[in-house]
A and B are shown apart, each in its own frame.
Chain A
Amino acid sequence: MQTIEPVLVFALLLNFFILGNSRMWAVIYAVAVQGAALGAMYPIAHQQGLYGSGPEPWSTIAWLTVLTLAIIGIKGILIPRLLFRAMRDADIQWHIESAIGILPSLLIGAAGASLALVFARRLPLVGGHTSALVIPAALATMLTGFLVLITRKLVLSQVLGYILLENGIFIFGLLLIEAVPILVELGVVLDLVVCVFVMGIIINHVNRSLPAATAEHLSTLRE
């Protein structure tokens, strides 16, 4: 598990970059890079789990390669491209507005990351996982996702928050990769849901019925 720790630290740093940045394109790239880097970790985590169990059949390796490429392709290329297309087609503004401002969201993010570190210590770990940064990184990334979901006003930002949430879940899944076979495939399903979201924005041109496609305009229906 040590080999993937630098990447996890990188993912944590990206969380702060995302919280502290107000340009939409930068955030889209950051989320994409985070997703692709984590996807690349999948075969490494998988291999570590299989050390000592003898040579792998080629079919496993082939499937592993296909899945890794699919994850990197979807998270790193397909989703950002769709998001950029949605921005262009739906005339979404390039500047991100936050309900609570940049500095408070950074502070909340930092507090969340520290709490994640503390909380993860309270949960018992299976031997061999003890040194891993995996659980705190997963929790912190999920918290960042929630923060973005709650505080950012653009519909597109909410999609980005959802992807962050999903990246966090993927990090946690790295712990279980050798144990539960279809886990990563489930992660791919989550990605496809994101694609549906963005396609929805593109196809229905959320901006035509709702000017500027901000979530603030989604407030006709209330108590």
Chain B
Amino acid sequence: MLIWLIGGPVLAAMIAFAVPSNRWRPWVVPLGALLHLALTCYCANQVDISAFHNWLRLDPLGRVFLVFVSVFFFICALYAPGYLAHESERSNRVLCACLLLALSAMTLVTLSHHLGLMWIAVEATTLSTAPCIYFNHNARSLEATWKYLLICSVGLALALFGSFCLAYASLFAGEPSTLLFDDLVREATHLSVPWLHVAFIVTFVGYGTKMGLAPMHTWLPDAHGESPAMVSALLSGALLNVAFLAILRMYHICAAAGEGPFARRIMLGMGLASMGLTAVSMSRQRDIKRIIAYSSIEHMGMLMFGMGVGGVAVFGALLHMIHNGLTKGWLFLSAGNVYYVYGTKDTGKIRGMLRRVPWSGWMLLVGVFAITGSPPFGPFVSEFQILSTTFKTGHLSAGLLFLVLLLLVFFGMAGIVIQCSLGPCPEPSEDTGRHENVAMVLPVLFYMGLILLLGVYTPPFLQQWINEAVAFLQTAASSVRLLPQ
């Protein structure tokens, strides 16, 4: 079954590659995504199915990520046909195939229980999304793609080195050395501590690069800014979160070895650094998509902050992973619509958004309030959970800093977008004459609806899944150790 989850999208990618018609090909993407979603729903209730001698396993933590990626990708894929209809002069063969390959690679990351396999899968997500970023085939997108490929690959090479260090640490355990995740967690207490520290730091830097944490974030605003709207949404909403999962796997091993506090200190510091970077650079941005990209860096920082605080904040962080991802899909797609209608991303030239593009304009404006933590939406709930735990556990100064940074980002982001929303519509001579349509607005409404729903009501099954994931992160070591050796 797990093999179908990974192989299904690959098959769909092949079909997309083979379809000759540029007009019909984009429909393969939502169909493939629907198939994946159906398989995911089928698998979601059978945790602990495994394949290939435990190299692949669906565990409670992976399940949260798998279901999220599948739902997110499906809504994002619905946007593809409408969007690509406007780009009909350019072949979308590579784009469609690579989107589906990326889905397969992300699924593999969520399922793999072997650090080497997981590393290959993360590398595969990088390679498969790079052609998507280059879709516009101009100098700017080439530059963004090159930066993305090179910086992420260097980061991932480091992550591989870190995995090797971990394997070396396990040579000390006396057991035959291994990269199998379950064995590492079971033997965690015997691992050599200095090597474990080196391994965690190096993999954290490596996968942190892919996740876009400051100061390794430099590729992120460029790649998100220059790629087509749905690719930006996919990068920001799903791919960064998948890298987050890779870091969580390493953290799990550290925590099982009793080195949790060490790892959490690093995560807390790096989280605050990413938020600080966003707070400083947000107000200087002059590009509507880069603004959202910087917000991604901020929220990846928040996830790290939540993990760093620990306790109930881990629940908050996992919930925020979902809320932030869906909101990013909403923001990037509506910003893509605005870009399409105005023909520019320059915030200095976009005026009167609410009148010129009523649907997308309003959605973008409301989305900015949602992502900065305004009440009835999802991110508020999860951010509140992280923050209240921070204060309860006595991290007073970190909590206050978190609040100040949130406020700074809010002012920076809302200021720019409100300016774009108001004012006169562009003169007819400057206008592109394009209009938004239902196919472009509907997927955004889906994201919006989900976030609104999650803001007022967390479904019991989701709560249970996340609780199980948190329990999996915390207790796996001790419960396994109780078993007779």
Contacts and interface: CB of A to CB of B under 8 A. Distances in A.
Interface of A: 122-124, 126, 142, 149, 155, 158, 162, 165-166, 168-169, 172-173, 175-176, 179-180, 182-183, 186, 189-190, 193, 196-197, 200, 204, 206, 209-210, 218, 220-221, 223
A179 B119 CA distance: 18
Given A218-B146, A221-B140, 20 more contacts: A123-B194, A124-B172, A126-B171, A162-B157, A166-B157, A169-B161, A172-B164, A173-B164, A176-B171, A179-B167, A179-B176, A179-B177, A186-B120, A193-B127, A196-B127, A197-B149, A200-B149, A206-B142, A210-B143, A220-B143
A173 B165 CA distance: 9
Given A166-B157, A209-B138, A210-B139, A183 B164 contact: yes
A126 B172 contact: yes
24 contacts: A124-B172, A124-B194, A126-B171, A162-B154, A169-B157, A169-B161, A169-B164, A179-B167, A179-B177, A180-B164, A180-B178, A182-B116, A186-B116, A186-B119, A189-B120, A200-B146, A209-B142, A220-B139, A221-B140, A221-B143, A221-B147, A221-B221, A221-B222, A223-B281
Given A149-B154, A169-B160, A210-B143, A175 B168 contact: yes
Contact of B147 (A122, A123, A200, A218): A218
B222 to A, nearest CB: 4
Contacts of A165: 154, 157
A168 B202 CA distance: 14
Contacts of B119: 186
Contacts of B147: 218, 221
Interface string B170-190: 011000111100000000000
A176 B167 contact: yes
Given A172-B161, A186-B120, A218-B146, A122 B154 contact: no
B17 interface: no
Contacts of A189: 120, 123
A40 to B, nearest CB: 20
B22 interface: no
A209 B153 CA distance: 23
A183 B177 CA distance: 11
B150 interface: yes
Given A123-B195, A197-B149, A209-B138, A180 B157 contact: no
B198 interface: yes
Nearest to A161: B154
A126 to B, nearest CB: 5
Contacts of A221: 140, 143-144, 147, 221-222, 225-226
Nearest to A190: B157
Nearest to B192: A124
Q: How large is the interface on B (under 10, 10 to 19, 20 to 34, 35 or more residues)?
A: 35 or more
A204 B149 CA distance: 14
Contacts of B153: 162, 193, 197
Interface string B111-138: 0000010011001000100000010001
B284 interface: yes
Contacts of A220: 139-140, 143
Contacts of A193: 123, 127, 153
Given A210-B142, A218-B146, A142 B161 contact: yes
Contacts of A172: 161, 164-165
Contacts of B140: 220-221
A182 B52 CA distance: 14
B116 to A, nearest CB: 5
Nearest to B175: A179
A200 B281 CA distance: 32
A189 B160 CA distance: 11
* Most interface-central of A122, A123, A180, A189 (chain B CB within 10 A): A180
A202 to B, nearest CB: 13
Interface in B179-238: 179, 192, 194-195, 198, 221-222, 225-226
Contacts of B195: 123-124
The 9 A-B residue pairs with the shortest CB-CB distance in the complex, in nearest-first order: A179-B177, A209-B139, A221-B222, A218-B143, A169-B161, A126-B171, A180-B167, A176-B167, A186-B116
Contacts of A206: 142, 146
A126 B143 CA distance: 45
Nearest to B149: A197
A190 B154 contact: no
A166 B192 CA distance: 25
* Most interface-central of B154, B164, B176 (chain A CB within 10 A): B164
